[in-house]
Amino acid sequence: MVYYARNQRGALGFLLGILVLYSIAKYFIGVFKFDALFFVEIFLMIYILLLFFMKFTIKIDNEMLSYQVFLFSWRVYIKVLTPDQVSYIQFRRVGWASKGAVVQVKKGLNVRVYNFKAENILKDLIHFANEHQISISKSKDYLILKK
């Protein structure tokens, strides 16, 4: 099954708004200069704007996990994991009341499974791990949310 997620757009929009308001305020106060700080501000605005348009997908099959990151509709990163490449899966609490997981990989970058829309993604990950004898660890905070 394929699951989709996006970045936290509210937080990114808030940060972008603060940066834009800060730049506008500098202009009206009269301290606006084309110095290194100006270029850092522009770089941060562009970076946050690009983060705003990132999407994540994870596909859980019987024999593999496929994790992809998209910017607009272009695939930026793809990672296909077979069960022998996965060390263990760690389930943890993310934020105040949401759950997530981190797929620990033997070589390379770990795969985070946060903010995906469907709730049954964690059940599918547990099923995938049990099916392929991958060890699972659950944090205390995760177990509290499970109640």
Place of tokens 């943890």: 92
Which pLDDT band, with edges at 50, 70 and 90, does 80 fall under? Answer: very high
pLDDT for residue 146 is more than 80: no
Question: pLDDT tens, 92-125?
Answer: 988 888 888 999 999 888 999 988 877 789 889 9
What is the enclosing helix (H) or strand (E) of 92? strand 86-94
pTM for this entry: 0.79
pLDDT of residue 28: 80
114, two tokens: 């946060």
